[in-house]
């Protein structure tokens, strides 16, 4: 079943539960009713939103992730479900015990997929497309030669123009890139927890103050697809994060992707990807099942 993404940003809304349905009420008038089991992501981007305790707990019980946005419309907090996974303890032990060579090999696969995705975002006749594809073949275990960083120095000017600087604190359109990455980070964290793993134990990222380093590792393969969506949206003349710009990013959560040869909604593909990570941790595989896209940005 395709899980829905619910964006609360239009006005003061009260969220509560009736008969396992999320009820949306605004100015004492019911404006919506959604089965809790159908919701994959609840994104709240209005400061006057009010929740009942049961609304939050029931959504988490049904496996939804809840993303809370701040005044700048960017996610500032995530609520994740702790699902009843009987294998959670065993998988967590396998995750913590994963060897350094395994972790470095998995990170190499992620970097290769990311750089290939960046190349696919460039027109076929662009000289940096071939350069990036060649660079992807040179990534070593653990990316010790920093191919990821070198690729970024070619990629961003080729994608956005020589005057653009990718800076999380920078001016437009940097905030929209940030928004997309943070939404996907939450979706990836949800899939990690659902697989019985812990997002705080990463493969490459290791900031002691960051409880989602594994999500930051895995989200790297999705960044090029987010970049492509942002570039397409910017063609409309957008200059701020609004309803349309958010829709351009959120729609990606239900678009079809291919993982391990199986096509389906992205949210389903995330679970296939994290399931392959579990197999790697448990010794049953050495290769991650990572997403594939075929359309190019031309």
Give me the mean pLDDT over the 276-291 stretch: 95
Q: What is the pLDDT of residues 160-213, one digit of tens each?
A: 999 999 999 999 999 999 999 999 998 898 888 878 888 889 999 887 778 889
- The span from the CA of 284 to the CA of 51, in Å, is 43
Query: Looking at the structure, do residues 93 and 165 belong to the same domain, yes or no?
Result: yes
Report the chain's mean pLDDT, rounded to a whole number: 90
Query: Looking at the structure, do residues 113 and 241 belong to the same domain, yes or no?
Result: yes
Would residue 181 count as lying in a domain? yes
Query: Looking at the structure, do residues 14 and 128 belong to the same domain, yes or no?
Result: no
Query: Looking at the structure, do residues 59 and 133 belong to the same domain, yes or no?
Result: no
Residue ending a domain, choose from 79, 114, 132: 79
State the residue for tokens 């009843």. 84
Assess whether pLDDT exceeds 50 at residue 38.
yes
Assess whether pLDDT exceeds 90 at residue 137.
yes
Would residue 286 count as lying in a domain? no
Query: Looking at the structure, do residues 64 and 177 belong to the same domain, yes or no?
Result: no
Token reading at 272: 């296939």
Query: Looking at the structure, do residues 220 and 138 belong to the same domain, yes or no?
Result: yes
Query: Looking at the structure, do residues 159 and 212 belong to the same domain, yes or no?
Result: yes
Q: What is the pLDDT of residues 2-36, one digit of tens each?
A: 678 888 888 889 999 999 999 999 988 999 999 99
Query: Looking at the structure, do residues 123 and 227 belong to the same domain, yes or no?
Result: yes
The answer to whether the pTM exceeds 0.85 is no
Query: Looking at the structure, do residues 125 and 268 belong to the same domain, yes or no?
Result: yes
Would residue 61 count as lying in a domain? yes
How much of the chain, in percent, has pLDDT values that exceed 70? 95
Query: Looking at the structure, do residues 233 and 135 belong to the same domain, yes or no?
Result: yes
Q: What is the pLDDT of residues 230-267, one digit of tens each?
A: 999 999 999 999 989 999 999 998 899 999 999 988 88
Point out the least confidently predicted range of 36-50, 106-120, 133-147.
Answer: 36-50
What pLDDT score does 294 carry?
55
- The span from the CA of 10 to the CA of 192, in Å, is 30
Residue ending a domain, choose from 27, 50, 79: 79
Residue 55: left (phi > 0), alpha (psi -120 to 50), or beta?
A: alpha
Query: Looking at the structure, do residues 195 and 70 belong to the same domain, yes or no?
Result: no
Peptide bond into 102 cis (omega under 30): no
**Other residues' Cβ atoms within 10 Å of the Cβ of residue 99:** 9
CATH number of residue 31's parent domain: 3.100.10.20
Assess whether pLDDT exceeds 60 at residue 126.
yes
Q: What is the pLDDT of residues 73-82, one digit of tens each?
A: 767 888 887 7
Would residue 13 count as lying in a domain? yes
Number of structural domains (the chain) is: 2
What pLDDT score does 72 carry?
72
CATH number of residue 183's parent domain: 1.20.120.920
Would residue 50 count as lying in a domain? yes
**Residue 43 lies in domain:** 4-79
Residue 290: which of 188, 207, 204, 177 has the closest Cα?
Answer: 188
What pLDDT score does 298 carry?
45
Query: Looking at the structure, do residues 161 and 35 belong to the same domain, yes or no?
Result: no
């Amino acid at each position: 079943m395709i899980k829905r993404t619910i964006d609360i940003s239009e006005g003061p809304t009260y969220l509560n539960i009736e008969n396992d349905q999320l009820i949306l009420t605004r100015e004492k008038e019911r404006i919506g009713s959604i089965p809790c089991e159908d919701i994959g992501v609840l994104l709240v981007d209005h400061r006057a939103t009010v929740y009942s305790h049961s609304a939050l707990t029931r959504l988490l019980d049904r496996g939804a992730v809840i993303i809370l946005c701040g005044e700048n419309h960017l996610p500032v907090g995530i609520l994740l479900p702790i699902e009843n996974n009987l294998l959670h303890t065993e998988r967590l032990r396998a995750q913590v015990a994963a060897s350094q060579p395994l972790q470095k090999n998995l990170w190499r696969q992620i970097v290769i997929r990311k750089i290939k995705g960046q190349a696919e975002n460039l027109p076929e006749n662009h000289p940096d497309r071939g350069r990036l594809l060649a660079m992807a073949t040179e990534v070593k275990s653990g990316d010790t030669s920093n191919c990821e960083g070198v690729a970024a120095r070619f990629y961003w000017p080729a994608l956005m123009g020589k005057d653009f600087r990718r800076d999380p604190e920078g001016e437009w359109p940097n905030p929209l890139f940030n928004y997309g990455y943070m939404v996907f980070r939450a979706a990836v964290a949800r899939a990690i927890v659902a697989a019985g793993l812990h997002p705080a134990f990463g493969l490459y990222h290791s900031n002691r103050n960051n409880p989602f380093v594994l999500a930051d590792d895995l989200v790297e393969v999705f960044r090029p697809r987010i970049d492509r969506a942002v570039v397409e949206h910017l063609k409309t003349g957008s200059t701020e994060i609004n309803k349309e710009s958010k829709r351009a990013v959120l729609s990606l959560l239900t678009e079809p992707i291919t993982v391990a040869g199986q096509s389906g909604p992205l949210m389903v593909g995330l679970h296939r990807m994290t399931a392959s990570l579990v197999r790697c941790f448990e010794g049953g595989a050495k290769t991650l099942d990572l997403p594939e896209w075929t359309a190019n940005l031309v």
